[in-house]
Amino acid sequence: MSTKTWLKIVLCGDGGVGKTTIAQKLTGTLDLSKNREMTVGIDFHHLKISEENLIHAQIWDLGGQTQFRDFQEKFFESAHVLILTFSVVRFPSFLNISSWLPLIKNENLIQTYLIANKIDSNPRVVSREDALKIAQQNNMRYFEISALTGENFNDFQEDLIESIKNALLPSQAKKQFLDISYKNGRTLEKE
């Protein structure tokens, strides 16, 4: 009997930058008819990466308010993927990237992302060039997305899955890595 492989994905950044919307979009549970409230402390989301290869991820969606920062450092331990998010329309969320970076001490990460969210909103106050510079200085993959409208989201999602696939699956199994099965039963076929 095969056992499931579980990954830990930590999703962090200031409050109100869209982390929960990103997690729900990844897991296929985003319901735009419901009001979204800020996460208090932490929330968890389940992502089926590959049913065939029994790969699952638990997304740790961290509340971004500073009062939670003292106890969140432990949450970064044993993470496999880190997604640090800021809003392109909230300059303080970009400046505060520097307060999140020291929490990333895990050298066993498969991948680290810097995500510029809310590119569908105006006025934009953070330039792509400034954000890309931070990402490059910290060896992070960089994507600009709108989790709300889905703009550029598939590119980020595909890169995330590909990074996990490359780290976990033997080369002969990579060709059989076909699906991202969401909690609600939707499947996105991927080769």
Q: What is the pLDDT of residue 74?
A: 78
- Of 8 and 190, which is predicted with more confidence? 8
Show Cβ contacts of residue 96 under 8 Å, excluding neighbours closer than 6 positions: 13, 14, 86
Helices (H), 34-187: 69-72, 91-95, 97-100, 128-137, 153-168, 171-174
Contact 112, 138 (CB under 8 A): yes
Cα–Cα distance between 74 and 19 in angstroms, integer?
A: 19
- At 64-121, the pLDDT tens digits run 666 555 656 778 888 999 999 999 999 999 999 999 998 887 777 899 999 999 999 9
| pTM, entire model | 0.83
Q: What is the pLDDT of residue 169?
A: 73
Half-sphere exposure of 56 (CA within 13 A, CB side): 13
Cα–Cα distance between 128 and 50 in angstroms, integer?
A: 33
Pick the closest to residue 100 from 24, 15, 8, 7 (CA basis).
15
Q: Is the pLDDT of residue 21 over 90?
A: yes
In the chain, what percentage of residues exceed pLDDT 90? 55
- Name residue 24's amino acid: Q
Q: What is the pLDDT of residue 48?
A: 84
- Of 62 and 20, which is predicted with more confidence? 20
Q: How high does pLDDT run on average in the chain?
A: 83
Q: What is the pLDDT of residue 9?
A: 96
With cut-offs at 50, 70 and 90, classify the pLDDT of residue 159.
Answer: very high
The domain segmentation of the chain, as residue ranges, is 1-63+105-113+140-183
